[in-house]
Structure formats: structure tokens, C-alpha cells
Structure 1
Amino acid sequence: METYTIDDALTAMGFGKFQGLVLAYAGMGWAAESMELMLLSFLGPSVREEWNVSAENESLLSSVVFAGMLIGACTWGFVSDKYGRRTGLLCSTLFTSGVGFLSALSPSYLCLVTLRFLVGVGVGGGHVFTSWFLEFVPARNRGTWMVIFSLFWTVGTVLEASLAWVVLSSLNWRWLLALSTLPCFLLLPFFGVTPESPRYLCVQNRMSDATVVLERMANANQSALPPGVLTYHPETKGDHNTHSSENEYLLPVREKECTVDNAMSSKSGGIAALPELLSHKLLRSTLLLWFVFYANSFAYYGLVLLTSELSDANRSCTSGVIFEAHQKDANLYKDTFITSLAEIPGLILSAVLVDWFGRKASMWFMMFACCAFLGPLVLHQNELLTTILLFGARACAMGSFTVLCLYAPEVYPTSVRSTGVGIATAIGRVGGVVCPLVAVAMLRSCHQMEALMVFELVLCLAGAACFLFPVETKGRDME
């Protein structure tokens, strides 16, 4: 009897209308996460003025969001591997939209901190949108479509910067928080038509359900499935012997057909995935991904906060003069909007590099380039040069972040993909928790050189770590 795999079917159908709809839905979720994080550049200064909080409490407002994302990334990863990608998407979206709107009604600083922590838990599920989308994309052009998918993140950052510019000039931060939840609310009416990942269904031994999704995809794309019956080729116990290298383990299994029993399906995902992620076959990849996610999040979100802090620190620390509030606000909106636009050339750069030179080379090159752009900022620079250097650093940080979000789901097999990426993302959020202490608190204390040296060190170590990844996933089928 003829058989075919998920990758055979995706290759035969190509990227069509069906994947376009999946891209639009997942992209909206990705944009919603970027908006919730981008508003941190504006929320801290606004709350500081209204409630007269200290610099430490202002940085705490950003740190608690990332602390929540650390918990949420693990939680929603477990949920989506255990109960399905759709369940993870729905629960995280409902949670984020609800507590995000409530945070706009906060009567006190303490209440706002608590609710923003819960918002972080909700948006921690953003990585599930990435994994869900990539599981529908053929291997041969996955890199290109991941870059296009990442455009939604950039759209979210630019939209949030524009929204803040308009709202905060005439209203207050509460309106900004409320309006920033709109993308999450817009996702809910369309949830009923979103498909479950056929890869997840295969892992759960629901082959007939997976076939129905593939047939629906074929009809939408006006194409045909390969002849035969859908099969799934998981890792066999024989593949887990102590003599196999991590490189061999990470390569897709395509040579023989295995039977997936219900016992295996019931143990996939959740806590049961941890031993596999930390096994000697995946340990090197897992530990390196944890550190690179940490460094990338530390650098990217640090740059977002640096945009709102660096020019003001340059003025106040060198001259001792605090500018008028309205002048600082105008500069903040302008600089944040300009540096947000830097993500577009960053995505173009990653699109050029990722399929020409591979995932690993693209990441280390852009991390070292980001380090080079940040180097001159160790010393005080004028506003124009500061904006130009932050523009270049933000472009490289966004490019490396995009490639990393593509690489991580390609490394792990479907049975532990969301859990593995979720834990790596959670480790990355630790970088988000720490970076406000460097980008806000240290700059407010006029320790610009020390703060920038920390960013330089982290980026250099991350670039070196990319050399050590055991496998290149360019052109490789997802397991």
C-alpha cells in the first residue's frame, strides 16, 4: 500500500491559500504580543509621572511582565503539546485579552504591577503561534515564510509606537493599555475556523483527523494529496541508543514506518517531554538554545527600553538639566517610532542570509553586527548618532531573533516541539526580567558605560554560542 508523510503532503500542495489564512491568524497573535511588549517603552515614564514612582519601581513594571512571560511560555507550551495547538492558542488569547483590559482600570501602582504580571503570563504563549504556523509550511521555503511571518511583529511595534504617539498626546496611559488589547479580541471570533496542526494530530495517533485537515488544505489550495495513506514516522526506541550522536538524532527519520500506539500518544507533551529535552541526544541543543534565547531577549527588549532612556540620560547626566516633559515626550515618540522601523531592514537582512548561508551563520553574524552598532554608545553621543546606532542595532537584533524563532521549532520533534520552544522562550524571558535593571536603573544612575558593556558581553557570548549548535536545519523536514 502506498503511503505518504506530512512533509510529502505539504511539499505536494505547496504554500497556498490555506497557509495564507493560517499566516494571517498567527500573525495577528504575533502582532498582539509585540504591541503588549512595545508599550513598555511608554508605560513606565507615564506611570512615573502620575504616581511619582522611583526608577527601581519603574523598571519593576517591565520586569514583572517578563517574569509572567517566563511562567506563561512554559505553561502554554505544555498545554499545546498535551491538549493541542488550538487549545493553547485559545486559552492564552482569552487570558491576555481579559487581564490586559483590566490593567487599564488599575486603581493603584501595586494593582497595575500585578495585572501586568498576568498579562505577561498570557503573552508568554506567543511562541505557540510560531510553532503552529511553521507546522503548516513546506520545508523548502520555511525560512522565507518565517521572515514574512515576522513582519507582523514589526507591524505590531510600529502600530504601538504610532498609537502611543496619538493616544498619549491627548489622552492617558489607560487608553493606551485598553486599545493595545484590540488585536487579542479580534482573534477570538475567528477561532472556530482555525485548524489543528496535522503534525500534532499524527503524534496523538489521530491519523483520520490529520487526513481531514490535509484534505481541507488541498481543497483550499486547489491541489491534490499524494496517493496512498497518511503515515507518521516517529523516533523509535532503537534510535535512542547511547552510540547515536546528537547530529544523527536530530536528523529526520524517513526510512521506515512505525506504529504509534495510544500509550505513546498519552505521554507526549507536558512534563513527560522534559527527560527527552534533557537527554544526551538533545542536551547540547537545548542548553545552547536556552542561552541564545536569553541573550537575544536581553538584547532586543533592552534596545526597546534603551530607546526611551538613552537620549534622556545623555542630556541629564552630561548637563544635569532635565528637559521639559513635553519636549522629552516628543523626542521619545519620534525616536521609538524611527527605531521601530529598523525592524523592516532587519527582516530583509535575515531573509537574504537565512537561505543563502543557513540558520547558524545568520544568527552569529547579526549578533556580532548588533554588538558593533552598540559599541560607540559606551560613550555619550549626540542624539542623531545615538538614534542611527540604535536603528542599526535594532535591525540586527530583530533579524537574529527572527532566525532563532525559526531555528528552534526546526530542531525539536513534534511531540516535544511546543514544550521545548516554550521552555527556551521562558529562559529568554529571564533576559527580559534582567534587562530593565540594566537599561533603566543603571542609565538613570548615570552608568551608561557599564550598562552598554553588559549588553556587549552578552551579545558576544551569544554569537559564539551559535557556532556550537550541533546541526544546521536549512532545508530539513520537521519531524
Structure 2
Amino acid sequence: MQTSSKTGNEHEKAQQQRDVEEQETRRDDVSLGPGEILQLEHTDAVLDAKMHLVNNAIDQIGFTSYHWQLFVLNGFGYAVDSLILLIQSIVAAQAALEFHPGYPNGLTIAAYVGMLVGALFWGMTADIVGRKIAFNVSLVVCSVFAIGAGASPRWEVLGLFICLSSFGAGGNLVLDTAVFLEFLPSKRQNMLTLMAAWWGIGQLIAGFLAWGFLPNFSCQDPAFFPDAAPCTKANNQGWRYVWYTSGSLVFVMSILRITVIQLKETPKFLVGEGRDAECVETLQFIADKYKRQCSLTLEKMQACGTTDTRALQGKSKWGLGSVWAHCKGLYSTRRMGISTTLIWLSWTLIGLAYPLFNVFLPAYLSSRGAAFGQPSQYMTWRNYTLANFSGIWGPVLAGWMCGTRLGRKYTMAMGALVTMVFFFAYTQVRTADQNVAFTCVINFCLNIYYGTLYAYTPEVLPSAHRGTGNGIAIGWNRIMGIVSAVIATVADTGTAVPIYICAALYVLMAGIAVVFPFEPYGRRSS
């Protein structure tokens, strides 16, 4: 009897799903775009139908100057994440000369702990209370504590401020892609990959600040200059200027995000919450403001049925059950579960490979510079800036590649494999010019993979659980960043060993990219 009842319920559910799909097809008189990435997963027929209508409305409105504003000011969130992460590695050596810490890599651990907690907190908050609040607050938090870091009187206080600043930056990064994607027309979805170029811009800003302040306002390292004077706050202001300047820049951009964009809650979040009227109002507002057509109406949304928000939130929106419901939603079907697991694994691997090269690149460049007879800070930070400038253009190429039949998966695979080749070649560098050239090429190539992974992750996650899935993915990335700091403590980052490890990890990441179950090319995100 139980088996018969269960079979009957499944048949009834399947029939209801077919009815909703047929109803949606009859009423959808402006089907402008391709199908959704997750449309064959059939997790919620009513929500799928509404998402299809919302995607059609977004495609009908098209690309506007509002999207350019989002591209710039959301993109700056990418820049802030890389800026904060790299600045702590840039200033660590000079701050250590002044404070004489017992654990030199403590700042790296502080930064990654802050970004780990921030990614989880703000990512889950975005799925519970919405994207808007977290989007506006996280960058302000980052800027305030970044400025405070410059006034730190002790190593421990500096680590605390870096941790708190990273808490804001790490959460901000989770939201930038989600917010931009949920307003973006399907024909422009490859711009999500292009936006990762801002990551390189953040690196470039960090390099310019280091190049401008450290050679001119820093005490000398006794390891290279035996006659150097004792390092004090008075003769070692350069690293503080770096923090003051970067924190002020972040603060200005956080104010511009609030005043220029005046972000409305994303329509896809509103649909998941069952707030259909607000979703329609938001899209109609954008259409009216930019003189575009939008045929979406509340009647069309209501005709699809009522969204089961309890399934998305658990018994209480504010309890642990809500967090569990969002995590469980990422494994609603077998393919979605495989996709989620592989994405998290990819973020874990890149979380180890990236800091082993980029975060500890100053130490490696410095050791190589000394070997080539270039021990000066000026040359070290000049080379560092050139390498970071090269990193901007990797996502630009990746954005174009993602718009071709290569798609996201094979763009990532090719980027990872090419990066691996140059990693191995880098170990054979013998001259100063080769040193600079290969670091530039590697930064260019690895950002092809990294930029595409940043875009791919929110694209294939369901909207209702996008913040949680993205936050956990980046959380795994930050955990491995902490591990990299521990590795750097017991290993010599001035040798080629980290380079070999990075090369091997990129081979594994290329293989994972090929077997991802979803390809967003030619499809629309949910």
C-alpha cells in the first residue's frame, strides 16, 4: 500500500510539473532567450517557470548603462579582494622588521581567516536577507578596518585589523558576481568572466602602492644592508602609507556603490522569496528608466503558481534549518550534487596554488633579484607591478573565449594547462629579463582559469542557494590559503618547490574542468 501511495504521489507531482510547464509556455509570449542551465533538473516546477519569465524579461530589457555601472562598481569588489590579500603580503616583511614577530606569516593567516568567515557569513546572509544589504555593508566594513591597519601599534593589532578588513572584502567578493549575474541579459553573460579583469586591477593598484611608498619610506633590511639603522615607526612609514591609501580608496568606492548604483534587490532573489510583485516592479522600473520594453506582469507570474518558500528556507528563515536548507538545495539532484562538489574541489585546489605563487611572489622575486644582482626594493616592486599589470588581460581573453564554442569548461582547461607549462618553464629562468617575462606570462595565463572559475560558479548554482554555494566555495579557497601560509612557514618560498606544486595542481584543475556536468555557453542562469 505504501509503495502504491508513493507511486501515485510521484505521478501526481510529475503531472503537476507538466501542467505548469505547458501553462508557462502558453502564457510566455516573449520567449527571447535560450533555455536555462538547470531547466532539466526539475527541482521546483513553479520556480523554474517563474525564472524563465524573469529571464525573458531581463533579455527583453537588454543591456543598459545600469549594467555598466554594476560592471564597474561590482568589479571594484574583485579589485578590493585581491588588493587586501596582496597588500598584507607586501607589507609583511617591512612590518616584521619593525615589530619583530614570533610568527612572520601570521598576517597571511589573519587575512585568510577573515576572508573565510566573511565568505561564509555574507554568502549565507545574502540568501537569507537578500543581496542588497550585504552588498552595501561589506565594503564599508573592509575600508574602515583597512585604514585602521595603518595605525597599528603592534604586530597582533595589525593582524586583527587585517582579519576584520578581510572579513568585509571576502564577503563582498561573494556578492559581486551574484548581483551582476542576476541583472545580466543572457547574451552578455560572458561579461561575468570579463569582470574578473578587475582582480588584476586590484593587484596592479597594490603593486603601484608598493612601488611608490616602500622604496622611499622604509627602513633597510639588515640581511641585505649590515650597516642599516634600527627599524622604527619613524623611519618605516611606507607600509602604513600603503594601508592608509588603499583603505581610503576602498572607502570612496563603497560610498559610490551606495550613492551611484542605489541597488534594488535582485529580481531572482525576490522570486525565490515569493515576492513576485516586487520582482515585477524592479524590472519595470529599470525598463521605464532606460526606455526599454518589458512585458512581464504580476498576472503572468501568479499564473505559474505559488513558490514554496518553506522548501528554500527551512522551518525558520533565521535558524540553522535555513542554512541547512540552502546547503541541501545545492544537492537537489544528482547532477547538481556532482557539479557542486567539483566546483568546491576546484576552489580548494586553486586556493592552494594561487597563494603559493602570487601571495609569496614578492619573496620569490626578491630571492631571484638577489641572485641576479638586483637586491633593490625598487626593482623588486617594479617587477611585481609589471606582473600584476599582465594579470589584468587574462580575464579579458577568457571573456572572449567563453563567448565562443569553447565555452566555460574548455576555457578553464586550456588556461590551466598553459599555466602549467609556463610554471615548469619558470623553474629554468636564468636571467633577470627572463624572470620578469615569465612572471608576467604566468600571471596572464593563470587568470584565464581563475577568472572563468569565478564566473562559472554562480552561473551553474541555483539562484535561491547561490550565495550559500558561492560562499562555501570561496570558503574552501580561504582554508587552503591558511594551509599555504603554514607551508610557507616550514618551507622556503624563495626556492622553486612551490612552483612545481602549483604546476601539478593546475594539471588536476584542468581535468576537473573538463568533467563539469554543466556548460553555461548558450544557456541562461537560473
**One-letter amino acid matched to 1:368:** L
Q: Measure the CA separation in 1 of the matches of 2:332 and 2:472.
A: 15
Q: Measure the CA separation in 2 of the matches of 1:231 and 1:127.
A: 32
Tell me, yes or no, if the aligned pair for 1:200 and 1:415 is still in contact at 8 Å. Answer: yes
**1:214 corresponds to 2:283:** yes
Equivalence for 1:290: 344
Name the SS of the counterpart of 2:104 in structure 1: helix
**1:40 corresponds to 2:74:** no
Equivalence for 2:113: 67
Residue 64 of structure 1 and its aligned partner are, at CA, apart by 2.1
Cα distance per residue 1:23-59 (max 9 Å; x no partner): 23212322222221221341112112222346xx332
Cα distance per residue 1:385-411 (max 9 Å; x no partner): 122111111111111111111111111
**One-letter amino acid matched to 1:450:** V
Equivalence for 2:244: 178
Q: Which has the larger radius of gyration?
A: 2
Residues 33 and 450 of structure 1: CA distance in aligned 2, closer, same or farther (over 3 Å): closer
Equivalence for 2:136: 90
Equivalence for 2:325: 272
Tell me, yes or no, if the aligned pair for 2:143 and 2:251 is still in contact at 8 Å. Answer: yes
Q: Measure the CA separation in 2 of the matches of 1:222 and 1:177.
A: 43
Matching of residues 132-143 of structure 1 within 5 Å: 132-143=179-190
Q: Measure the CA separation in 2 of the matches of 1:91 and 1:429.
A: 21
TM-score by length of 1: 0.86
- Given candidates 199, 202, 225, the residue that maps to 2:294 is 225
Matching of residues 185-334 of structure 1 within 5 Å: 185-186=251-252, 187-188=254-255, 190-191=257-258, 193-226=262-295, 228-229=297-298, 257-264=304-311, 266-267=313-314, 270-279=323-332, 281=334, 282-314=336-368, 327=376, 329-334=377-382
Tell me, yes or no, if the aligned pair for 1:293 and 1:427 is still in contact at 8 Å. Answer: yes
Tell me, yes or no, if the aligned pair for 1:438 and 1:451 is still in contact at 8 Å. Answer: no
- The Cα RMSD (Å) is 2.5
Q: Measure the CA separation in 1 of the matches of 2:287 and 2:139.
A: 28
**One-letter amino acid matched to 1:406:** A
Equivalence for 1:423: 472
Deviates more, 1:461-470 or 1:160-169: 160-169
**One-letter amino acid matched to 2:244:** A
Tell me, yes or no, if the aligned pair for 1:8 and 1:226 is still in contact at 8 Å. Answer: no
Equivalence for 1:413: 462
**One-letter amino acid matched to 2:188:** N
**One-letter amino acid matched to 1:286:** T
Residues 412 and 230 of structure 1: CA distance in aligned 2, closer, same or farther (over 3 Å): farther
Number of residue pairs matched by the alignment: 446
Cα distance per residue 1:201-256 (max 9 Å; x no partner): 111111111112111211233211025447569xxxxxxxxxxxxxxxxxxxxxx9
Tell me, yes or no, if the aligned pair for 2:408 and 2:521 is still in contact at 8 Å. Answer: yes
**1:363 corresponds to 2:412:** yes
- Given candidates 159, 165, 183, the residue that maps to 1:113 is 159
**One-letter amino acid matched to 1:188:** I
**1:122 corresponds to 2:171:** no
Name the SS of the counterpart of 2:523 in structure 1: coil
Name the SS of the counterpart of 1:469 in structure 2: coil
**One-letter amino acid matched to 2:513:** C
Residue 340 of structure 1 and its aligned partner are, at CA, apart by 0.7
Equivalence for 2:498: 451
Residues 352 and 266 of structure 1: CA distance in aligned 2, closer, same or farther (over 3 Å): closer
Tell me, yes or no, if the aligned pair for 1:41 and 1:305 is still in contact at 8 Å. Answer: yes
Q: Measure the CA separation in 1 of the matches of 2:463 and 2:349.
A: 25
Which 5+ residue runs of structure 1 have no aligned equivalent? Answer: 234-255
Name the SS of the counterpart of 1:132 in structure 2: helix
Residues 440 and 219 of structure 1: CA distance in aligned 2, closer, same or farther (over 3 Å): farther
**One-letter amino acid matched to 1:113:** G
Q: Measure the CA separation in 1 of the matches of 2:185 and 2:392.
A: 24
TM-score by length of 2: 0.79
Provide the identity percentage. Answer: 21
Residue 101 of structure 1 and its aligned partner are, at CA, apart by 2.0
**1:468 corresponds to 2:515:** yes
Tell me, yes or no, if the aligned pair for 1:92 and 1:122 is still in contact at 8 Å. Answer: yes
Name the SS of the counterpart of 2:356 in structure 1: helix
Name the SS of the counterpart of 1:181 in structure 2: helix
Q: Measure the CA separation in 2 of the matches of 1:292 and 1:2.
A: 40
Q: Measure the CA separation in 2 of the matches of 1:271 and 1:307.
A: 39
Name the SS of the counterpart of 1:58 in structure 2: coil
